Amino acid sequence: MNRSDLQTLGERELAKQQSTGCRLLCCGSTPCLSSGGTAVQEVFKGILKENKDLKAELAVVSTGCMGPCSRGPLVRVQRQGEPDVIYEKVTPELAQEIFKKHVSGEDTNQAEANILPGDIPFFSKQKKVVLANSGLIDPERLEDYVAQGGYMALANALREMTPEEVCSEIIDSGLRGRGGAGYPSGLKWNLVRRAKTDKKYVVANGDEGDPGAYMDRTLMESDPHRVLEGMAIAGYAVGAEQGFIYVRGEYPIAAKRLEKAIRMAERRGLLGSRVMDTAFNFRIDIRIGAGAFVCGEETALMASIMGRRGQPIPRPPYPAQSGLWGYPTLINNVETFGSIAPIINNGAEWFAGIGTAKSRGTKIFALAGQVENTGLIEVPMGISLREIVFDIGGGVPNGHTFKAAQTGGPSGGCIPADYLDTPVDYDSLRELGSIMGSGGLVVMDDTTSMPDVAKYFMEFCMDESCGKCVPCRVGTVQLYRILERVTAGIATRNDLTIMEELCTMMQETSLCGLGQSAPNPLLSTLRYFRHEYEALIKDDLPLTSDRFALATSSVLPRQEVS
C-alpha cells in the first residue's frame, strides 16, 4: 500500500461513516468495561441484530477512552448534522432509552438526566493531541485510524524527509520524554541515528506501573496504531528495522489490541518488509511484562526483553550507545511515540507553540483521588495545578478542602495547596520536590494523613525493589519500618533523624532510578507537612511491649525450604 492507496482507503472509510445516519460510540476501555460497559454494548448489538434493516443507518462502535472514567460506562451519540451527545453511567435499561430517542425517534426523556454537557470545563480546558482519536475511533479497525489521517505522517516522512530531517523536526518541536525524566527526545534520536552499527532497535516502554496512573494503557487501548506509527517513524529516523513494545502484563486488552493492530498494519504493508513500497523495513513485536515495576526502568526493561532477570544495570553506557544485545537502542515511552505523528503532520512549530518555553506540547494525566471528575485528561503544559484540580477536576467533593496533589507516583512528591498556581511543567515540578512523572495525579483532601501517604509509597517501593543494590533493597525496608512506627505513634525523634539521613543516602547511592527516587514521596511530605510528623513523634518514650514487638518483628516471610 502506498500513499495514494492510503488516501483512498481513508476517504472511502470517512464517506462510509458520514453516510451512516447515527453512530453509537460505546467506550470499550478498561474503566468503562469494568463498570458494566460490556452489557451496554450487548444491548446495542442485540438491537442491531434484531433489526437488520437498520444496518445502513446505524452503527455501533466500540471505541477507546473518552476521558471522564468515573462516570462510565459512557456512550456518545453521533447523528449527522447534530452536535454529539454524551451519556454517562449508562445501564442496559438506559441504553434502550437512548436507542428509542435517537434512532427510533420516540419522544422519551428518560435518559435526559444522564447527559454529560459537552461544554463543561472538563472538556473545554483540555487540548487533545495524543488522545485526539481516543474515544472517537474503533481501536481494532485500521480503517478508522486511516480515516482520521492515520499513517499519513509515516507516508510523508518516508517520501519527503531524510532521517536527519525527521530527527531535526523532533528536536525543533522541543518534545521531551513523556516517561517522566523529560530528556529531549530529538537528542536521543540523533544519538541513535549517528551510531554506526549494522543493527539498531526501537523500544516503546508501555510498562506503566505508578499506582493510579493509566495513561499508557489508555493510549495503547484506544489508539494502538498511533503508537505503531510513531515507532515506525522513529525506526526510519534512527535506522532500525526492529521494534519492541513492552506491555505491562496487567494490560491484557492493550496487548490484544496492539497485536491485532500490528497484524492489520502488516497485512496492509504499513509495517513489515518494504513499508509503503519503499526500501524501509520495520517489524514490531510485543513483549509482555511479568509484573515488575522496576522493568519500567530502561535497562531493566531491556534485560527483560532479552529474557534475563529484570534488573537494572549501571549507566553509562546508555541504551542509545549499547542497548539490546549490545546494539544502540532507542527507548521512549508510548506517549512520546504517540506525539510523533502529530508533530510530523503539523510541523515542529505548531507543536512548539503549545505549552511553555522549556516544556512543549501537551501531557496526559490520570486524574485520581478526591476530585469530582476523575479520569484521563490531556492538557497543554504550563496549565496551573488549580485549573486541573478545580476546573477540569471539578474540585474536591463532600465539602472537604484541597490538601495536596501527588504527582509522579512512588518517584514523585506532594504539592501542597500553597503552590496550586504553579505551572505544570517538568522544571517547575522538580523545583517543588516532585516530578512530572509519567502522569499520575492523585488529589488528596484534608482527611488524608501525609505520613500514611509516605508509608503507602514506601511499602510500594519496598515490594518493587529488585534487590540488586543494598541501599534500595534494605533502605526501603528500614524506611518503611520507621514510617510504620511513626504512623503508630511510637517513633522517637531519633527515628526522624535516621530517616532523613537514610533518605539522602538512598538518593545518592542507589543504582537505578527506583532507589534514587524512592525517598521522594517521604521527603516532599516532610518538606511541606513536617508538623504532621512532629505531632506523631514522642520523646522519651518508654520501651513498651508494642514498641518492642514492632521493633523486633520481621517483615520477611519464612523461606520455603525445598
Q: Which of 52, 196, 531, 558 binds other proteins (CB under 8 A)?
A: 558
Residue 557 binds to other proteins (criterion: CB under 8 A): yes
Distance CA 529, CA 540 (A): 23
Q: Does 562 bind other proteins (CB under 8 A)?
A: yes
In our burial notation (b when 16+ CB lie closer than 10 A, e otherwise), range 232-245 reads bbbbbbbbbbbbbb
Pick from 82, 93, 463, 546 the residue near other proteins by CB under 8 A: 463
Pairing of strands 283-288, 402-407: unpaired
**Total number of residues binding other proteins (CB under 8 A)?**
42
CB nearer other proteins, residue 309 or residue 530? 309
Among 469, 483, 503, 518, binds other proteins (CB under 8 A): 469
Is residue 471 near other proteins by the rule CB under 8 A? yes
Q: Is the peptide bond before 316 cis (omega within 30 degrees of 0)?
A: yes
**One residue of 481, 522, 532, 547 binding other proteins per CB under 8 A:** 481
Q: Which of 304, 465, 517, 524 binds other proteins (CB under 8 A)?
A: 465
CA distances from 441 to 215, 365, 385 (A): 11, 6, 10
Burial 298-311 (b: 16+ CB within 10 A, else e): bbbbbbbbeeeebb
Where do the H-state alpha helices sit in 161-280?
A: 163-173, 185-194, 215-222, 224-238, 252-267
Is 478 a binder of other proteins (CB under 8 A)? yes
Residues 272-331 that bind other proteins (CB under 8 A): 292, 294, 309, 313-314, 316
Alpha carbons 338 and 344: distance in angstroms, whole number:
11
**How far out from the chain centre does Cα 200 lie?**
26
Q: Is residue 547 close enough to count as binding other proteins by CB under 8 A?
A: no
Rounded to an integer, what is the distance from CA 316 to the centroid of its chain?
Answer: 27
Task: Pick one of 173, 476, 517, 524: the residue that binds other proteins (CB under 8 A).
Answer: 476
508-527 positions binding other proteins, by CB under 8 A? 508-511, 516
* DSSP labels, 136-160: TS-TT-HHHHHHTTTTHHHHHHHHH
**462 binding other proteins? (CB under 8 A):** yes
Q: Tell how strand 75-79 and strand 22-27 pair up.
A: antiparallel
Cβ closer to other proteins: 52 or 558? 558
Residues 469 and 142: their CA atoms lie apart, in Å, by: 45
Kindly state the smallest distance separating residue 511's Cβ from other proteins, in Å.
6
Task: Tell me the closest approach of the beta carbon of residue 518 to other proteins, in angstroms.
Answer: 11
Least Å from the CB of residue 411 to other proteins: 15
Residue (41 or 465) nearer to other proteins, CB? 465
Cβ distance to other proteins smaller for residue 84 or 463: 463
CA–CA gap between residue 151 and residue 262 (Å, rounded): 13
Q: How far is the CB of 470 from other proteins (least distance, A)?
A: 5
Interface residue with other proteins among 255, 466, 490, 491 (CB under 8 A) is: 466
Residues 6+ apart with CB under 8 A from 324: 201, 203, 244, 302, 305, 306
| Closest C-alpha to 529, from 427, 448, 460, 457 | 448
The backbone region for 247, taken as left when phi is positive above 0, alpha when psi lies in -120 to 50, beta otherwise, is beta
Q: Closer to other proteins at the Cβ: 446 or 546?
A: 546
Give 120 or 474: the residue with its C-beta nearer to other proteins. Answer: 474
Q: For residue 282, what is its C-alpha cell?
A: 520495520
Position among 56, 488, 535, 551 found at the interface with other proteins (CB under 8 A):
551
Site string for other proteins, 482-511 (x = CB under 8 A): ----------------x--xx--x--xxxx
Told to check if 64 binds other proteins by CB under 8 A, we report no
Judged by the rule CB under 8 A, the positions of this chain that interact with other proteins are: 292, 294, 309, 313-314, 316, 462-471, 473-478, 481, 498, 501-502, 505, 508-511, 516, 551-552, 554-559, 561-562
